Amino acid sequence: MISFSPNPPLPAVSNMRLRRVAEGQAPWTSRSPSGLVLNRRTGSGVALLAALALLLVAAAPPASAAGKPTVTLSTSEAGAGGSVTVTGKGWRPNALLMLLICGQSAPGRGVIGGTNSCANGDGRAVTTDGDGEFSKKLPVAEPPEPCPCVVHVATVTGEQAAADAVLKVAGHPVEPLPEQDGAGKLSVLTDTRLEGSSGILTWFGAPPGRQLVFTVGNIGSAPVKDPVFQVGTAHGVFAPQWEEQQWRGTIAPGKKAQIKLPVELAAGAHGDYVVSLRFGGKVLAEQPWGVGRPWGVTLFWILLCVVVPSAVFRIGMAIVDRIRPRAPGRGGRHRGVQLPDMTVRLPRLGLSRPATGTPSAGGAATTGTWADGPRNDEAADGPARTTTTALPWFTPDTDPGASAGRFSAPSELSAPPQNSPTTKGNT
């Protein structure tokens, strides 16, 4: 006989888990080997991932610090004739940089006066590596402006970037920088423009110059006195070359003023340029400038290439003619035939004007002279010559050439009398 129990007994493992739960212990701490190993592996993996995340966050540098180029020097003071090693980091990879020692400058103010305040003749160029780093030895030279001095590093091509490091040049004079009030803020109110024109000398390579005209307003709470602007000129892909220009005057808060600053390029400059205006480290405006080619210089070289060879050839021919041996009996240089000697005398073709005189008694021919006298050539050759004239009423049977050169006709062929009646029809 089969009997069923209403409450079948639980397995031993389930009873053990229930007992541990009742005692306040975790059920995964059971003696089950598979369950214990599985939970330990999961906890170790989570802990490892958390540790790696913390390490990555700690090792990652700030984005702003990585994008700002820096410059350091091997020494902060050096004398003229020495050298200093310049090291840079954070620059654009494979970028061309220029290194200059500039006076009247400070890292917070930049180079006052642009590259005119730098020792350009002793500058150096360097190219960064793939990581944006470089190291270059720079000779120390006294800049044209007094210190404070800096080592100015700036990009030559591509995106503009610059950095300065303080350098004290031993023996060089030191003067304070011009004061600049930072409470006032200037803003350009109108479009910039370039005024002026180039003269005739610019056509022959003189430096082209213009005036940058713009209107600024003081949007700050303090007046701006004698503001110092930076005017930069850039050609093509090259970075602007900045030069400081100080405007004399005071702009009160809420007021505006029109400012004109001179801009000048190098001699022989031509092509497309961009003039930039910067104040307080911020670029306020840019103005394009197209400079024509100095064609006068090109014309000069063309004329030089034509005139000089011609002059050399003439001088050489004169020397050859002078040192060439002359033929015997030849008094001097052969002279060409003069123009009057080359005139050809044309033969006289006969009478073109009637001659004066009366027919002879024989009626053959008469001799006479020109009505206006003998011709000049006849007067020069001798006495006046007579000419013969044939009468127009000889008969066809008469041979005009019977006599040698003179007409002979019978007496009945003489000219009609003057009192003969007029033929009817003649008037």
Residue 61 CA to residue 68 CA, distance in Å, equals 12
Alpha-carbon distance values, 28 to 13, 19, 22, 158, 375 (Å): 12, 13, 14, 65, 157
Residue 119 CA to residue 81 CA, distance in Å, equals 13
Contacts of 247 (CB under 8 A, 6+ apart): 226, 227, 228, 229, 259, 261
Residue 12 CA to residue 9 CA, distance in Å, equals 9
Residue 370 has a pLDDT of: 47
pLDDT digits (tens, 9 = 90+) for 131-177: 999 999 999 999 999 999 999 999 988 777 889 999 999 999 999 88
| Residue 111: CB atoms within 10 Å | 26
Question: pLDDT 10s per residue in the chain (427 long)?
Answer: 444 444 444 444 445 554 554 455 545 444 444 443 444 444 455 455 555 555 544 444 443 344 689 999 999 999 998 999 999 999 999 999 999 999 988 887 788 777 788 999 899 999 999 999 999 999 999 999 999 999 999 998 877 788 999 999 999 999 988 776 555 688 888 888 999 887 788 888 788 889 999 999 888 778 888 899 999 999 877 888 888 888 999 898 878 899 999 998 888 888 889 999 998 878 888 899 988 888 888 888 898 899 989 999 999 999 998 888 877 655 545 555 455 555 555 555 554 555 444 444 444 444 444 444 445 444 444 454 555 555 555 555 555 555 544 444 444 455 555 655 555 555 4
pLDDT digits (tens, 9 = 90+) for 57-99: 444 444 334 468 999 999 999 999 899 999 999 999 999 999 9
Residue pair 114/244 in contact (Cβ under 8 Å)? The answer is: yes
Buried b (16+ CB within 10 A) or exposed e, 213-246: bbebbbebeeebeebbbbbbbbbeebbbbbbbbe
Residue 111 has a pLDDT of: 83
The sheet that has 162-170: what strands, in order across it? 77-79, 162-170, 149-155, 96-102, 124-127
Residue 292 CA to residue 76 CA, distance in Å, equals 45
Residue with tokens 């340029």: 273
pTM of the model: 0.38
